Amino acid sequence: MAKQILVTGGCGFIGSNFIHYLLSGHDCNVTNLDKLTYAGNLDNLRDVEGNPRYTFVKGDIADRADVEAAFAAKIDGVVNFAAETHVDRSILDPDAFVATNITGTYRLLEAARKAGVDKFVQISTDEVYGSLGASGKFSEETPLSPNSPYSASKASADMLALSYFRTFGMPVVVTRCSNNYGPYQFPEKLIPLLVTNALEEKQLPVYGDGLNVRDWIHVIDHCRAVHMVLEGGTPGAVYNIGADNERANIEIVKGILAALGKPESLITYVKDRPGHDRRYAIDATKIRRELGFEVSIPFGRGIEETVRWYVENRGWWERIKSGEYAAYYEVMYKGR
Ligand code: NAD
Ligand code: TYD
């Protein structure tokens, strides 16, 4: 019988890409539990709404009754994407980060333990390792040293999840991926913010000196890796996921302006983010060696296709930018 996978946060960026990935060619059914916060968007999954293999449950992972409702049907595997995810928002107000990322993960772990699931994949982030200097990479053994309320809440969730393996023998696996880019990313994050601002001829805000480094991976490659972990990841293990693709922010900014034929005069250096991590870089040797993961989308092609997606799906991001997000943008960038 086809497995029943509970995906949380499926209306967000990575979750919606993952659901598309699962429903196109993989033999499983999907329940999507999503609270529909500002980052959750039903438009991302409009095309699968009528799919008999797909069920949507609106609910909060931090609410016991909502989680129980999602587990009403038999669940074989859980992939927990649901989270508050934006570092800048965690600086403005950490409250929801603690509630969703920590308490929410706990509630899911408890329900999954009672249900006796075959696998629980906790989607974490490389940000739990903190910041690197000019050399070195994060391995799975790098000590956790999170610097923002966002990354601290994710690190807390990792520890809770792994404790359910050690204490209860629950088949939990944690993944820690680097920065994702691709279609359906909320335009508060660097790449969609840059592309959409450039298309609107607005200033492109660059924090600090623009030389912070992120290690970019296409969202589809992240989804492929998560699926491999769901199918074959060793219970109790942590897997780093990355594409060996480090770029300074300013390089990304200039590349996007060039791709769109827009002038570099749109670049505006603004006040740095407090506690801004300098550099992230992932050593993904373990997932390559153990599960055979290989990157399929080189950055040059991936970024070109991504820029084109935002050009061609203007309605998608214009609806977001004209709504509640507009008020956030005012608070975050006014007078910075
Ligand atoms: P996102 O902000 O685009 O989406 C988050 C989704 O979770 C939204 O649909 C939102 O409605 C939902 N959600 C939030 N709180 C919820 C709650 N209490 N109950 C149920 N649903 C809730 O996030 P994303 O970028 O797609 O990230 C998904 C996961 O991947 C997160 O756990 C994040 O930490 C992790 N991650 C992201 C990146 C990245 O570059 N975006 C990199 C590594 C890891
Ligand atoms: P972001 O997309 O918020 O991801 P994260 O902080 O989780 O890595 O930011 C990526 C990088 O881009 C980070 O170094 C901060 C920087 N940045 C800017 O320079 N300007 C911006 O407006 C934003 C949102 C981010």
Mean pLDDT of the chain: 97
Structure confidence at residue 81 as a pLDDT band (50, 70, 90):
very high
User: What's the 3-state SS for the chain?
Assistant: CCEEEEEECCCCHHHHHHHHHHHCCCCEEEEEEECCCCCCCHHHHHHHCCCCCEEEEECCCCCHHHHHHHCCCCCCEEEECCCCCCHHHHHHCCHHHHHHHHHHHHHHHHHHHHHCCCEEEEEEEHHHHCCCCCCCCECCCCCCCCCCHHHHHHHHHHHHHHHHHHHHCCCEEEEEECEEECCCCCCCCHHHHHHHHHHCCCCEEEECCCCCEEEEEEHHHHHHHHHHHHHHCCCCCEEEECCCCEEEHHHHHHHHHHHHCCCHHHEEEECCCCCCCCECCECCHHHHHHHCCCCCCCHHHHHHHHHHHHHHCHHHHHHHHCCHHHHHHHHHHCCC
147: pLDDT strictly greater than 80 = yes
What is the tens place of the pLDDT at every residue in 239-258? 999 999 999 999 999 999 99
The stretch 187-213 carries a mean pLDDT of 98
Instruction: Grade residue 321 by pLDDT with cuts at 50, 70 and 90.
Output: very high
Q: Per residue in 275-292, pLDDT tens? A: 999 999 999 999 999 999
**Is 127 annotated in the active site?**
yes
Q: Where are the domains of the chain?
A: 3-180+216-241, 182-214+245-275+300-324
Percent pLDDT > 70 in the chain is 100
Q: Give the predicted TM-score (pTM) of the model.
A: 0.98
pLDDT at 311: 98
Of 127-136, 172-181, 186-195, 322-331, the poorest mean pLDDT is in 322-331
C-alpha of residue 189 to centroid of ligand 2, in Å:
6
Tell me: the pLDDT tens digits for 27-44? 999 999 999 999 999 999
In this structure, which amino acid lies at residue 61? I
What's the confidence (pLDDT) of residue 26? Answer: 87
In CATH, the number for domain 182-214+245-275+300-324 is 3.90.25.10
- Which of 88, 132, 206, 214 to mutate for ligand 2's pocket (most ligand atoms within 8 Å of CB)? 214
Which amino acid does the sequence have at 292?
G
Separation between Cα atoms, residue 110 and residue 114, nearest integer Å: 6
pLDDT confidence bin for 146, thresholds 50/70/90: very high
Question: What's the whole-number mean pLDDT along residues 55-69?
Answer: 98
Q: Are 177 and 222 in contact (CB under 8 A)?
A: yes
pLDDT of residue 323: 84
In this structure, the residues whose C-beta lies within 6 A of any atom of ligand 2 are 87, 127, 179, 189-190, 193, 205-207, 212, 214, 249, 273
What fold characterizes domain 3-180+216-241? Rossmann fold (3.40.50)
* C-alpha span between 29 and 23 (Å, rounded): 8
Name the residue of 7, 8, 11, 13 to mutate for ligand 1: max ligand atoms within 8 A of Cβ.
13
Evaluate if residue 331 carries a pLDDT over 90: no
Annotation marks residue 251 as catalytic? no
| Whether 60 is catalytic | no
326 pLDDT more than 90? no
